[in-house]
């Protein structure tokens, strides 16, 4: 808290960069070529900060078919992508078989694409619909072809904040429990953090502490645990955050670029047990994301082909080409390396700043 509250931002970023070099040596920054698929926007959780979801029976609801999703994965294969991030809302009616049949068909049609799907809150929703424990749900999904459980829905793992902004989403312990079960099944997982809801800096540190304690437990048990930590400010351009943020109740939401960089730097110093800290260009823009690479982040995120959730909040650019991510990394003074969702380095055709002929790099042995 002393560092978060009082440290000079330049000294804090410098210390975070030194720490980054001990955890992730070298001058490379990784990125992922992937796409987002939001298979449905039907959701019953009604998070006050979400502009994407639609309640059941709303005229704008949709559920994508297997063929529609498969077509999107074919487009990803065309650009040599390696992962799909497939998430939706908490649908109150879709049975477990809908999810397993979808995963099985996608695995059969697109064996080279890692299926990182759903979120802990979606797993809880499926569990309630089909009447079996969440770990059994995860087992069925893994058997059907699911590769990883992304860290969506964490927001703030402090119930004082979490249950205020999303009372139907359940406690922080629920999110951690489902993630623990996923890790026990050797599914790839990541930890996320959305901040800027009017919480205190102490709440932010407590969120990170819950993640770090869980990571200690995973490492002690010989598991990988979380591959990375990704944080970003809440985006509310098209969302007033409910009646509590109007008139005399209005509070300052989101976070400034300096506040975001402080958060990234503190997270790098705090997480002695998570190697990878990701910069968030979709919410902060490429210029601030470049600065985050100088504040301890070692990963530039992903191409996010067809992103719908963050863009629904008003963010204007939520897709990037591989070339754009490489240019962002190069201009920050680093060497770009393509990776998969497990942070295994892949063959990389690196551009020069003058867009001269690519320089091929070989995959990690």
Query: 194 φ, ψ to 5°?
Result: -105, 130
pLDDT at 331: 94
Residue 359 has pLDDT above 50, yes or no: no
Give the CA dihedral 53, 56, 61, 66, nearest 10 degrees: 100
Domain range 2-332, CATH architecture: Alpha-Beta Barrel (3.20)
Domain ranges of the chain: 2-332
CA distance 137 to 316: 36
What would the mean pLDDT of 3-12 be, rounded to a whole number?
Answer: 97
- Tell me the three state secondary structure of residue 283: helix
Q: Biggest alpha carbon distance in the chain?
A: 59
Residue 353 has pLDDT above 60, yes or no: no
pLDDT at 235: 78
- pLDDT tens digits, residue range 50-64? 666 667 667 777 889
What would the mean pLDDT of 304-330 be, rounded to a whole number?
Answer: 72
The chain-wide mean pLDDT, for the chain, equals: 88
Residue of 59 and 331 predicted with greater confidence = 331
The pLDDT confidence band at residue 315, using thresholds 50, 70 and 90, is very low
Least confident of 7-21, 31-45, 99-113, 308-322: 308-322
Q: Is the entire prediction scored with pTM above 0.85?
A: yes
Expressed in percent and rounded to 5, the helix, strand and coil fractions of the chain are 40, 15, 40
- pLDDT tens digits, residue range 127-151? 999 999 999 999 999 999 999 999 9
Residue 358 has pLDDT above 70, yes or no: no
pLDDT at 239: 46
Contact 306, 34 (CB under 8 A): no
CA distance 348 to 32: 11
What would the mean pLDDT of 213-226 be, rounded to a whole number?
Answer: 97
276-278, strands of its sheet edge to edge: 34-38, 83-87, 114-117, 148-149, 188-195, 226-233, 276-278, 299-302, 28-32, 335-339
CA distance 208 to 356: 42
CA distance 89 to 66: 17
């Amino acid at each position: 808290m002393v560092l978060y509250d009082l440290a000079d931002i330049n000294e804090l970023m410098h210390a975070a960069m030194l720490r980054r070099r001990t955890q992730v040596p070298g001058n490379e920054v990784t990125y992922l070529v992937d796409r987002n698929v939001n298979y449905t926007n039907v959701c019953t959780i009604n998070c006050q900060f979400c502009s994407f979801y639609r309640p059941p029976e709303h005229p704008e609801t949709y559920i994508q078919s297997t063929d529609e999703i498969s077509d999107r994965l074919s487009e990803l294969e065309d650009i040599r992508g390696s992962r799909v991030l497939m998430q939706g809302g908490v649908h109150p009616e879709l049975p477990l078989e809908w999810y397993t049949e979808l995963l099985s068909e996608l695995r059969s049609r697109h064996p080279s694409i890692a299926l990182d799907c759903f979120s802990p809150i979606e797993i809880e929703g499926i569990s309630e619909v089909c009447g079996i424990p969440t770990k059994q749900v995860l087992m069925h999904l893994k058997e059907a072809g699911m590769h990883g459980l992304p860290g969506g829905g964490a927001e703030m793992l402090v119930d004082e904040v979490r249950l205020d902004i999303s009372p139907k989403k359940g406690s922080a312990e629920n999110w951690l429990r489902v993630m623990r079960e996923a890790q026990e099944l050797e599914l790839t997982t990541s930890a996320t953090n959305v901040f800027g809801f009017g919480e205190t800096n102490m709440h932010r540190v407590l969120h990170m502490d819950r993640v770090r304690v869980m990571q200690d437990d995973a490492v002690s048990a010989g598991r990988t645990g979380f591959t990375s930590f990704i944080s970003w400010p809440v985006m509310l351009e098209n969302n007033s955050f409910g009646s509590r943020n109007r008139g005399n109740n209005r509070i300052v939401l989101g976070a400034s670029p300096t506040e975001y960089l402080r958060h990234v730097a503190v997270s790098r110093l705090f997480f002695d047990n998570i190697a990878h800290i990701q910069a968030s260009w979709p919410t902060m823009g490429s210029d601030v994301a470049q600065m985050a690479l100088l504040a301890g982040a070692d990963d530039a995120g992903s191409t996010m082909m067809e992103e719908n959730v963050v863009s629904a909040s008003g963010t204007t650019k939520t897709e990037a080409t591989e070339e754009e991510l490489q240019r962002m990394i190069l201009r920050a003074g680093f060497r770009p390396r393509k990776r998969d969702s497990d942070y295994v380095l892949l063959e990389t055709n690196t551009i020069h700043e003058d867009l001269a002929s690519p320089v091929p790099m070989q995959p990690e042995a």
